[in-house]
């Protein structure tokens, strides 16, 4: 007869990877992984779609370091589309649709635009798109700030003739032109003098600085964005696709739901979304993963309740310990060639390799990234130490409408119909994590840890890691032995701050 208690679920702290014969040098491993059916990443990390983790700044940083950021959806459609736009414009081989300014704009308006897009200057065009000149911070250096409200772009810009390039110019020729003329921006114009593109020195420098960056066919950074699965979700998906989103994540706390499967089928059937990869989630069982695979998902995201800020397992008593959940999902995904994303519950760099060996292709991180400079929110000081706020998308703070700002987070927990904030049943909490500095430093430790895992296991690549990696189950005594023990830590390591 059927065993009502099923099988035992294990998580990261229940297992370790066995060391193996190795000829691997940690710095030489290849961590390329499959994010979706069609997109690979140099580094198997995603930043979580949470309003204290991923907005444009984090997404840009994640893509530069070889992973990808998933923009959260606790904001209006317009505001989220704007975030996608910011990432897609942040750097590129050639900007085909550059942000421009008109000659009659005030310098204050110009300044606001430059701030919004984090650029140092803009091409100036008339209403027909004809290039009139260019204006950069070099032109503004001697303009007193008091004059910004009244002086206009046409008075301060460097007017045509400028050094320009033809449409379709090669990367090498563009670099040569920039260098020869000692300029930072090269507008591309057609025969009629219309602005058709822009190439900037910054983009060349960035591609040398970030050789692993995750980029699309046009050299722009790749970005993902979360959408819901009913209501205005389709409208949101369209708006995001229109501004060039690469990956849509149909995101709920229970992805094994009919509305979710319908949503994925709808997106996959609509030719409008041909160029966009669709991720479905979250699930924590083999059957849940199979349902998403059958609906056509390009990747399956796994995790019910492992998140550091999540209370689903105590509020609802539901979930599957994450290593087992990943393994179970992989049983459905592997044969179909659909990548698995292990979402939530990772506390240390060593958990990344454990997730991959269990059957994940990539992992999604919340708490490990929420303390970075690039995550939204300000630093808070507590007893002289620096922290950043981090909250679950199912927390009261994220789900309540509180005054003017609407919350789009409730439907993640199927509570969109709850009309008053005090009727919300939260499935997450609000807290703070230690401040960790720039993502670059954090990512270096996380990826460095993965390199060490691969060295110990004897794997040059992620597929080898998955094939050669074997677990040993441990006891609470083994876990105690694994962490520093019987000593008082006097110096914090950059990758270990205690338990
Ligand atoms: P962690 O990395 O352990 O902080 O977990 C992050 C993940 O937790 C997210 O990617 C998401 O799947 C999940 N999450 C987000 N909000 C909540 C909640 O309020 N319960 N859970």
Say whether 345 counts as a known binding-site residue: yes
Atom 13, ligand 1: which residue's CA is nearest?
307
CA of 32 from ligand 1 middle (Å) equals: 24
Say whether 280 counts as a known binding-site residue: no
- Which pLDDT belongs to residue 423? 87
Atom 17, ligand 1: which residue's CA is nearest?
392
Ligand 1 in reach of 136 Cβ (< 6 A): no
Atom number in ligand 1 closest to CA 368: 2
Beta strands in 228-316 (DSSP E): 247-251, 277-283, 299-302
Say whether 344 counts as a known binding-site residue: yes
Q: How far is it, in rounded angstroms, from Cα 410 to Cα 431?
A: 19
Atom number in ligand 1 closest to CA 367: 4
Among 157, 188, 209, the domain-final residue is 209
Instruction: Indicate whether 227 and 164 sit together in one domain.
Output: no
- Which pLDDT belongs to residue 1? 55
CA of 311 from ligand 1 middle (Å) equals: 10
Pick out the chain residues at pLDDT < 50. Answer: none
For CA atoms 465, 466, 468, 470, give the dihedral sign: positive
Instruction: Indicate whether 332 and 244 sit together in one domain.
Output: yes
Do strands 299-302 and 277-283 pair parallel, antiparallel, or not at all (unpaired)? Answer: parallel
CA of 481 from ligand 1 middle (Å) equals: 28
Residue numbers annotated as active site: 310, 412
Say whether 308 counts as a known binding-site residue: yes
Instruction: Indicate whether 322 and 419 sit together in one domain.
Output: yes
Residue 435 placed within a domain: yes
Which DSSP string corresponds to 39-90? Answer: -EESS-EEE-S-TTT-SHHHHHHHHHTTSEEEE--SS-HHHHHHHHHHHHHH
Instruction: Indicate whether 148 and 284 sit together in one domain.
Output: no
- Ligand 1 pocket test, pick from 11, 46, 50 with the greatest ligand atom count within 8 Å of Cβ, gives 50
Residue 262 belongs to domain with CATH number: 3.20.20.70
Ligand 1 in reach of 427 Cβ (< 6 A): yes
Residue 490 placed within a domain: no
Residue 487 placed within a domain: no
Structure tokens at 59: 């997404």
Instruction: Indicate whether 25 and 174 sit together in one domain.
Output: no
Instruction: Indicate whether 365 and 462 sit together in one domain.
Output: yes
Instruction: Indicate whether 297 and 388 sit together in one domain.
Output: yes
Ligand 1 in reach of 428 Cβ (< 6 A): yes
pLDDT in tens, 276-305: 999 999 999 999 999 999 999 999 999 999
Residue 258 placed within a domain: yes
- Which pLDDT belongs to residue 358? 98
CA of 290 from ligand 1 middle (Å) equals: 22
Instruction: Indicate whether 277 and 426 sit together in one domain.
Output: yes
Residue 2 placed within a domain: no
Which residue range is the domain that position 317 belongs to? 12-90+221-482
Sheet containing 379-382: give its strands across.
379-382, 385-391, 430-434
Ligand 1 in reach of 39 Cβ (< 6 A): no
Ligand 1 in reach of 339 Cβ (< 6 A): no
Ligand 1 in reach of 312 Cβ (< 6 A): yes
Name 206's Cβ contacts closer than 8 Å, sequence gap at least 6: 64, 91, 213
Ligand 1 in reach of 392 Cβ (< 6 A): yes
The SS3 call for residue 282 is strand
Residue 97 placed within a domain: no
Angular region, 179: left φ>0, alpha ψ -120 to 50, beta rest: alpha
Residue 150 belongs to domain with CATH number: 3.10.580.10
Q: How many domains does the chain have?
A: 2
CA of 392 from ligand 1 middle (Å) equals: 6
Instruction: Indicate whether 399 and 266 sit together in one domain.
Output: yes
Instruction: Indicate whether 67 and 133 sit together in one domain.
Output: no
Instruction: Indicate whether 396 and 247 sit together in one domain.
Output: yes
Say whether 251 counts as a known binding-site residue: yes
CA of 104 from ligand 1 middle (Å) equals: 47
pLDDT in tens, 142-171: 899 899 999 999 999 999 999 999 988 887
Ligand 1 in reach of 393 Cβ (< 6 A): yes
Residue 299 placed within a domain: yes
Residue 231 placed within a domain: yes
Structure tokens at 414: 């199927």
The SS3 call for residue 256 is coil
Instruction: Indicate whether 258 and 130 sit together in one domain.
Output: no
Say whether 246 counts as a known binding-site residue: no
The SS3 call for residue 289 is helix
């Amino acid at each position: 007869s059927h065993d009502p208690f099923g099988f035992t679920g294990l998580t990261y702290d229940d297992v370790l990877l066995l060391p193996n014969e190795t000829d691997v040098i940690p710095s030489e491993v290849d961590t390329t992984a499959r994010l979706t059916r069609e997109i690979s990443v140099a580094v198997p990390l995603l930043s979580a779609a949470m309003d204290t983790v991923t907005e444009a700044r984090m997404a840009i940083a994640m893509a530069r370091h070889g992973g990808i950021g998933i923009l959260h959806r606790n904001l209006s459609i317009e505001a989220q589309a704007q975030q996608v736009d910011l990432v897609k414009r942040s750097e590129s081989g050639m900007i085909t649709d550059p942000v421009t300014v008109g000659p009659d704009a005030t310098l204050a308006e110009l300044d606001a635009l430059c701030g919004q897009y984090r650029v140092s200057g803009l091409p100036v065009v008339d209403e027909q798109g004809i290039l009139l000149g260019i204006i950069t911070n070099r032109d503004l250096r001697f303009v007193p700030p008091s004059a910004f409200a009244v002086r206009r772009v046409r008075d301060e810009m460097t007017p045509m003739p400028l050094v320009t390039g033809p449409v379709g110019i090669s990367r090498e020729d563009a670099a040569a032109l920039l260098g020869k003329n000692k300029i930072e921006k090269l507008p591309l114009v057609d025969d009629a003098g219309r602005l058709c593109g822009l190439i900037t020195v910054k983009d060349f420098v960035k591609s040398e600085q970030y050789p692993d960056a995750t980029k699309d066919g046009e050299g722009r950074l790749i970005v993902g964005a979360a959408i819901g699965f009913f209501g205005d979700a389709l409208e949101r998906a369209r708006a995001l696709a229109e501004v060039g989103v690469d990956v849509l994540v149909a995101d709920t706390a229970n992805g094994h739901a009919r509305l979710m499967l319908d949503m994925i089928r709808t997106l996959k059937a609509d030719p409008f979304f041909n160029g966009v990869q669709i991720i479905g989630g979250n699930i924590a069982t083999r059957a849940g993963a199979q349902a998403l695979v059958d609906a056509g998902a390009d990747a399956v995201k796994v995790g019910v309740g492992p998140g550091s800020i999540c209370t689903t397992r105590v509020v609802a008593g539901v979930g599957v310990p994450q290593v087992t959940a990943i393994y179970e999902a992989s049983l459905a995904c592997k044969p179909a060639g659909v990548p698995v994303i292990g979402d939530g519950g990772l506390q240390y760099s060593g958990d990344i390799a454990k997730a991959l060996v269990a059957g994940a292709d990539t992992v999604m991180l919340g708490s490990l990234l929420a303390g970075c400079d690039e995550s939204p929110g300000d630093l808070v000081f507590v007893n002289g130490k620096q922290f950043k706020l981090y909250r679950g998308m199912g927390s009261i703070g994220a789900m309540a409408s509180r005054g003017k700002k609407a919350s789009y987070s409730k439907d993640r927990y199927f509570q969109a119909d709850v009309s008053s904030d005090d009727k919300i049943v939260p499935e997450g909490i609000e807290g703070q994590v230690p401040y960790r500095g720039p993502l670059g430093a954090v990512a270096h430790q996380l990826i460095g840890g993965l390199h060490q895992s691969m060295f110990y296991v004897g794997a040059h690549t992620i597929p080898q890691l998955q094939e050669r990696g074997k677990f040993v189950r441990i006891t609470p005594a083994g876990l105690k032995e694994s962490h520093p023990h019987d000593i008082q830590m006097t110096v914090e390591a950059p990758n270990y701050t205690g338990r």
